[in-house]
Amino acid sequence: MLYIGSADGGSGGDPLNLSQNLASIFGKILRIDPLGNNRGNKQYGIPKDNPFAGTPNVLAEIYAIGVRNPQRFSWDSRNGRMYVADIGQNVVEEISPVSAGANLGWNKWEGSYKYVTRQVDLSEPRSDAAMTWPVAEYDHTDPLVTRAAVTGVYVYRDGDIKPLNNLLIFGDNPSGEIFYVSADKLPAGGQDQIRRILFNDQGTNKTLLQLIREKNAAQGRTAAARADLRLGRGPRNQIFVLNKRDGVIRLLVP
């Protein structure tokens, strides 16, 4: 099956409420069968187990709703659980589990908080039982991520880096910071504490942006203001670290 992430259409705050509109492709995770032909144009198929297949006046391609800008998604190789890294509007970046028919909240919620005119209301977090809440989230005021936009996300299983096994790894695109939470042990509140990954460069811990700037200096280039981080997974569950600023692809190693 082919999964497709569709953003909310822009305009700030999704003013047309497209993310919650079951007749719109915007603000959704879609799921189709590229080898099928049971859709009207015969160019692709609708899986029979899609949550809205056969429902009148609803797009049968929809798998989950309520995302703003789904940057990346992936599946846990152990249990098949799907996760999405969803870029927030003004306040919250989030990593959320995705299941058939799930509502991840946008534009009624940004992360665990009610979205109210470019801000969030902190008074009643997670107060709607119909929503699927993030397993990790961080806000734009954190000094590590002053221009926040979440990216990732991968569950690291049975890899060569033993301390990272059974962790859900994600990053922040502009800053290049890389984080993790437990993939298996969530506390009663539903979220594990977010922890930071640093690179060991000949005995000195460094951020990705520091490594990029050092490479820029060696290249005779102006130091990068941001990292533009992307993460990729290899065939043996390796984690590759990519960026747009120094032309280097890095591999996480023990």
Confidence (pTM):
0.95
- pLDDT (tens digit, 9 = 90+) per residue, 169-200? 999 999 999 999 999 998 877 899 999 999 99
Contact between 89 and 118 (Cβ < 8 Å): yes
Could you state, in order of their start, the residue ranges of all structural domains in the chain?
Answer: 1-65, 67-199
What pLDDT, in 10s, does the model give residues 115-126?
A: 998 899 999 999
Instruction: Report residue 209: phi and psi, to 5°.
Output: -65, -35
Is the backbone of residue 79 left (phi > 0), alpha (psi -120 to 50) or beta?
alpha
Q: How many helices, marked H, and strands, marked E, lie in the chain?
A: 1, 19
Scanning the chain, the segments in alpha helix (DSSP H) are: 208-219
Residues 82-86 have a mean pLDDT of 98
Q: What is the residue-wise DSSP string for 210-242?
A: HHHHHHHHHHT-PPPS----EEEE-TTS-EEEE
Q: Could you tell me which residues are beta bridge partners of residue 137?
A: 94
pLDDT for res 11: 87
206-238 confidence digits (pLDDT tens) = 999 999 999 999 999 999 999 999 999 999 889
The closest of 176, 20, 192, 239 to 95, measured between CA atoms, is 192
Distance, in Å, from the CA atom of 84 to the CA atom of 47, rounded to the nearest integer, reads 21
83: Cα separation from own chain's centroid: 7
Maximal C-alpha separation, the chain: 61
The domain 67-199 having CATH identifier 2.30.30.40: the answer here is no
Angstrom distances, CA of residue 188 to CA of 83, 165, 191: 19, 22, 8
